Chain A
Amino acid sequence: MRQVYIAGYARSPFTPANKGEMAGIRADDIAAQTILGLLKKTGMDAKYIEDLILGCAFPEGEQGLNLARLVVLLAGLPLSVAGQTVNRFCGSSMQSIHAAAGAIQMNAGEAFICAGVESMTRVPMSGFNPLPHPGLTQRMPGAYMGMGTTAENVARMFKISRAEQEAFAVRSHKKAAQAQAKGYLTDEIIPISADGYSASQDGCIRPETTAEKLSELKPAFEEKGSVTAGTSSPLTDGAASALVVSEDFLRANGLTPMAKIRSIAVAGCAPEIMGIGPVVATRKALQRAGLTIADIDIIELNEAFASQSLACIRELGLDESKINLDGGAIALGHPLGATGARITAKAAQLLQRTGKKFALSTQCIGGGQGIATILEAI
């Protein structure tokens, strides 16, 4: 089998939706500039790119049509570069990486840009025209259930207290703030500017937050619930991208590999508790890699909500000291389509930085799914 490598990572700043610095910028602009930044950073010649595989959770309005192809054109890449838009909600851009890996192994291309983008400012969650199937809504309310409600369900089912969630959120902000202070994030961020708006660093991190402050917030989704805005990932604008190539291409073009993809998996679960999706997906991926969780040194677990993150940690028996070393989505933000590429490439980056052997990136997905990728150091 052909080996698949991650050979580059770049992302835009992640800024708060509506009030952040990129609120005035369209998703296609954010994505195009991020991708150009990736090409520049890796020294990759765009003419060799087979396809831009671009994840987006609500591909309509300004991020509608075949966004990927439009971003290729907007970025001024050679016309030979193809583009496909992928939607697996929050798992969209991790799915981009999986799709590229499959294509490479199928001998259907050598080099791919695997990216994702979301302007949660400019296209609201659920889009502009949600029209759920009335029958399915009745029969299976979970199918269209709001994510906050699923987070409450998980908190109840796995007995995750509000205080535990808040402590987790505070740790996420601390780690992200430290990473930012140490300059760990600087390298991966491509400054974005368009239409008089510009951003050059992350805007969601709150280093000053404390458990006491968080304890004052009102529940956001249920009157007597335990999940608050402080223990949920914020609505965010941003894009992330990874360069995914074959071993032959890597050698021939003198690129620097970051990590090798060892295994991938997706799996479904009950939509009402979609937050535990990573559990099933991770188990599958581990089995396919021939590894156990103890073998994993670095974990990127998407923090959609503190409650589901803690539930996954418990169910999988994860060691929290290995998780989200540079902070997670509660602190950094979660532009839905962009997160999968960010955490997978971040896991690769952390393998390089720490010199460890195996990494896992995994996320939960609305509608009841999980997605996971296992990486191996070079």
Chain B
Amino acid sequence: MIERIEKVAVIGSGVMGAQIAAHLANAGLSVMLLDIVPDGAKEANIVAKTALEKLVKMDPAPFMHKSFVNRITAANLRDDLNKLGEVDWIIEAIIENPVIKSDLYKKIDAVRKKGSIVSSNTSTIPLGVLTGGQSEDFAADFLITHFFNPPRYMRLLELVTGPKTRADAAALIRKTCDEVLGKGVVECKDTPGFIANRIGTYWMERAVTAAIDLGLSVEEADAVCGKPLNMPKTGVFGLIDLVGLDLMPLIAKSFLATLPTDDAYRTLHRDVPLFSKMIADGYTGRKGKGGFYRINRDPAPDRASDSEARESAAPKKGGKIKESVNLQTGEYAVSKDTKLSALENAGKDLRKLCEGTDKISQFAWTCLRDGLSYAASLVPQIANDVVAVDEAMRFGYNWGDGPFELIDRLGVDWFVDRLKREGARIPELLLKAAGKGFYKTINGKLNYLTIAGEFTPVKRASGILLLSDVKRASEKPVFKTGSASLWDIGDGVLCAEYHSKMNAIDPDIFKTLQEACKIIPSSNGKYKALVIHNEGSNFSVGANLGLALFAINIASWETIEQLVKEGQNTYRQLRYAPFPVVSVMHNMALGGGCEIHLHADHTIAHAETYTGLVEVGVGVIPGWGGCAQLLGRAYHHPKQRKGPMPALAQVFEQIATAKFSKSAFEAREMMYLLDGKHKITFNIDRVLADAKSAALELSKNYKAPEPYSYRLAGPPGKAAIGLSVGAMKAVGKVTPHDEVVIDTLSDILTGGKTNIIKMMSEDDIYKLEFEGFMKLIRTQGTIARIETMLETGKPLRN
């Protein structure tokens, strides 16, 4: 039996196969990508090779680091079939044709290593059909692993096993997908479309037909099916554009051929003539000329009948205008900003939204009524429990809440009652949930309603530690301010959680961290380490700029001085505290939200980490020790080139261009993570457990680090930077205020007026940071940048 998956073969280098291969490579596996040899091809591996070339150029990038393409070998099914004997896991991702697949499986079975695992990425063909006619061994080693597109970014992995599948094979793949690939693995039953696409397709068609019947515009429909329902802001029409309009009839055809005869989808589905016309005209979505939305790059002024809308919709640059299709006429018109009173009145109250009487409310109710009832009617047909369904929709469609969580938001009794009043069919599971709901906290543990109608705890795989579970089980935090809390996560470890708006950093966060610095050393051994982690959608996007702008507007410079000093003091206090500090990076950790990690003893990064010192975007420099710490890391990096300039040049480039990483691996290259020291974790549900164990490990014989010392280049280094900035300026890449910011930044990074014979201390650099920050914050250019960022969320290039 295979203990660990190390070598994987992916057969089929289409969009999915190639990207699955890329993600396996991200996770450090050795991958072979195979495809057919086209007739008359000179180069046998041309298909797989071409796929690899495309992967490197794709956006969003399938690779977490461009070098990972080297972990994939291109191969072909004519000459290299025997090489399948070397791999532990074979993933088939070829055309959805049972005959072709069956033929391939026989060839695979003849050469594969005993005990190797074979899985299919099929989204439509039942496992029973796939294993039909195959050997007993094959059936025992076979399962379905259904990845979602794009596989690097979509968390869901649907796992389907058959009656003959070996339990240990399924367990190994589950573990590999969870721990190595970072996927949210959801076990599905062997039914058409499994879980996510079964419900997702129904949901999309329900929304589309309801929008047409109720006379909603695509903008209106998407405004409802986005944020108000805690779903992605693409809505449904935007989502179909992304998936491809032309795929919808194919998906429908497949469902109509395979779904049970009484399935509600059959009643719902209808062909829409407009869509067929759009597909025929090439409006297949983002990959085509556009879809329900399109970008008009050359808007003719005379067509600007609704000039007001045009003005508000038109981005300032390049004359690009977003247009959307009229569902009644098929004509495109400028997309309108939708401010819908029904949505504004309801706020976050879903029930209130559904209780309204206008067409927006009717639309919301129709979608929720049918979509959620459909989901409820499918358990246990498609899944063992409601948790699987909710996870599938959260991980696979990026819903904020799964269908059963939405029902809980509406209130199950209210929902059932309204179904009754409208004479709708009520799924059995809903009746079982009456008076209970689907989720409940019992004895500090999250429970869900089983199909038997009993509550039972939600199971977490071993090694998963969620702060939300800790919080549910705790009576109250150890300490709390308006922006952050300290939680006892067990074994003597405290966790500092940010919970301000967007996790923006403010004095309350500093206060909380300072409190940790008091509590831990004086706890008589009760606490021995601190973890900094939160479960927000981003770790933190930086300082609270609103607060800064308020102080600027009333010219309260002391407030800002205080804010900068407080940040420096807090972060340095953490760095030199007598206990270990382990930080966790996930998603965006920008500006001040990056600087905190630079002060930690150790960092655990989720593989999807977008981090960097991006302060110049708002006209300032990193003032909470970001310059000092990154410089320290750069000068002391074992791979750094000798001399005063290479480290400086790297730090300067990163900060001056507000560069941020597009993965944890890039963050490592940028020294926000340290090579060989800081761990990259693929499954976000495992970061806290990893951080906790790192903290406990460090707490044995812990000694705080020594401060950095620096031998900086001084004015000659600044002159060298000036030369390269001058060259950038000549080609128009440096704006006037960039020059101001860069001048201050160069002073800090080169050590001001220092001479290369002098050693500088951390104190010196923090002081330069402070002075530089205070100098910039008073300039009009910087103030304008902050204002623009707060108003538009985009940097001003002044």
A residues engaging B (CB < 8 A)? Answer: 61, 126, 128-134, 137, 144, 146, 148-149, 219-223, 225
Contacts and interface: CB of A to CB of B under 8 A. Distances in A.
A133 B730 CA distance: 21
Given A129-B644, A129-B646, 12 more contacts: A128-B643, A128-B645, A128-B646, A130-B720, A131-B645, A132-B719, A134-B716, A134-B719, A149-B727, A149-B730, A221-B727, A225-B730
Contacts of A133: 716, 719
Given A128-B643, A128-B645, A146-B723, A222 B713 contact: no
Contacts of A130: 645, 720, 723
B644 A131 contact: yes
A144 B724 CA distance: 10
Nearest to B643: A129
B719 A129 contact: no
Nearest to B718: A134
Nearest to A223: B732
Given A146-B723, A221-B730, A132 B716 contact: yes
Contacts of B726: 146
A217 to B, nearest CB: 13
Interface in B709-735: 713, 715-720, 722-723, 726-727, 730-732
The 10 closest A-B pairs by CB, nearest first: A129-B643, A223-B732, A131-B716, A134-B715, A129-B645, A132-B719, A137-B719, A134-B719, A130-B720, A222-B730
A219 B644 CA distance: 32
Contacts of A148: 727
Nearest to A219: B731
A130 B726 CA distance: 15
14 contacts: A128-B641, A129-B645, A130-B720, A131-B719, A132-B719, A133-B716, A137-B722, A137-B723, A144-B719, A146-B726, A148-B727, A223-B730, A223-B732, A225-B730
Contacts of B643: 128-129
Nearest to A137: B719
Interface string B589-624: 000000000000000000000000000000000000
Contacts of A149: 727, 730
A131 B713 contact: yes
Most buried by B among A126, A137, A222, A225: A137
Contacts of B645: 128-131
A165 B294 CA distance: 42
Interface string B642-671: 111110000000000000000000000000
A222 B641 CA distance: 30
A362 B291 CA distance: 61
Contact of A132 (B641, B646, B723, B732): B723
Contacts of A222: 730-731
A131 B643 CA distance: 10
Interface in B65-111: none
Nearest to B730: A222
Interface of B: 641-646, 713, 715-720, 722-723, 726-727, 730-732
A14 B646 CA distance: 28
Contacts of A129: 642-646
A225 B642 CA distance: 36
Contacts of A132: 716, 719-720, 723
Nearest to A220: B731
Nearest to A131: B716
B727 A146 contact: yes
Nearest to B729: A223
Contacts of B732: 223
Contacts of A219: 731
A146 B723 CA distance: 8
A131 B723 CA distance: 10
B717 A131 contact: yes
A328 B737 CA distance: 42
A339 B716 CA distance: 30
Contacts of A126: 723
A59 B679 CA distance: 39
A149 B726 CA distance: 10
Given A128-B646, A129-B643, A129-B646, A223 B731 contact: yes
B646 to A, nearest CB: 5
Nearest to A60: B643
Count chain B CB atoms within 10 A of each CB in A129, A144, A220, A225 and give the residue with the most: A129
B293 to A, nearest CB: 31
Contacts of B719: 131-134, 137, 144
Contacts of B727: 146, 148-149, 221
A142 to B, nearest CB: 12
A123 B731 CA distance: 24
Contacts of B731: 219-223
A219 B731 CA distance: 8
A131 B718 CA distance: 8
Nearest to A149: B730
Nearest to A130: B720
A132 B750 CA distance: 13
B720 A131 contact: yes
Name which of A130, A134, A146 has the most chain B CB atoms within 10 A of its CB: A130
Given A129-B645, A131-B717, A144 B730 contact: no
Nearest to A136: B719
A144 B716 CA distance: 12
Contacts of A128: 641-643, 645-646
A265 B713 CA distance: 38
A137 B641 CA distance: 25
A131 B751 CA distance: 14
B207 to A, nearest CB: 45
Nearest to A138: B719
B730 to A, nearest CB: 5
A231 to B, nearest CB: 15
B216 to A, nearest CB: 46
B723 A144 contact: yes
Contacts of B717: 131
Which of A61, A132, A149, A223 counts the most chain B CB atoms within 10 A?
A132
A349 B321 CA distance: 62
Nearest to A225: B730
A222 B731 CA distance: 4
A223 B715 CA distance: 28
A221 B713 CA distance: 27
A128 B731 CA distance: 23
B723 to A, nearest CB: 6
A21 B643 CA distance: 29
B300 to A, nearest CB: 27
A129 B648 CA distance: 10
Nearest to B716: A131
A254 to B, nearest CB: 48
A61 B645 CA distance: 13
B356 to A, nearest CB: 55
A147 to B, nearest CB: 10
Nearest to B721: A130
A129 B642 CA distance: 8
A148 B713 CA distance: 26
A221 B645 CA distance: 23
A31 B726 CA distance: 34
Nearest to B645: A129
Contacts of A225: 730
Contacts of B642: 128-129
A137 B730 CA distance: 17
Nearest to B731: A223
A131 B719 CA distance: 7
B288 to A, nearest CB: 27
Contacts of A61: 641
Nearest to A146: B727
A148 to B, nearest CB: 8
Contacts of A134: 715-716, 718-719
A82 to B, nearest CB: 28
A148 B727 CA distance: 9
A126 B649 CA distance: 13
Contacts of A137: 719, 722-723
A128 B719 CA distance: 14
